Amino acid sequence: MPDIPGASRVEISRDEVAHLADLARIDLSDAELDALAPQLSVILESIASISEVAADDIPPTSHALPLTNVFREDVVVPCLTAEQALSGAPAKEQQRFAVPRILGDEQ
């Protein structure tokens, strides 16, 4: 195996999964963490070969058909009304999205 992080020991620990879930803002249960860690290790093992494939001089592709400078005319076009934009909101107030508090106790 090549000397890159992760691939030399394609194993992802339960703690790592918990950290990733935290980054992804998902409250995983203990049972989910137990199940996910080995599954992700297997998946990673099957894709780790990728690190050996492409040489440094190969340019990356982000989109298959590259398009540049896609502009439109600077004209007003119809858009959603405030009522439409709010129509799926879990909570709303005074024509705005109503959300839980956004600051923590320590702030």
Q: Which residues bind another protein (CB under 8 A)?
A: 4-7, 12, 16-17, 20-21, 23-29, 32, 35-36, 39-40, 42-44, 46-51, 53-54, 58-65, 67, 70, 72, 80, 84-85, 87-91, 97, 99-104
Q: Least distance (Å) from another protein to the CB of residue 11?
A: 12
- Structure tokens that stand for 95 in this block: 């024509």
Nearest CA to 95 out of 104, 84, 86 is that of: 86
Query: Between vectors from CA 72 to CA 65 and to CA 79, what angle results, nearest 5°?
Result: 110
Q: Least distance (Å) from another protein to the CB of residue 25?
A: 5
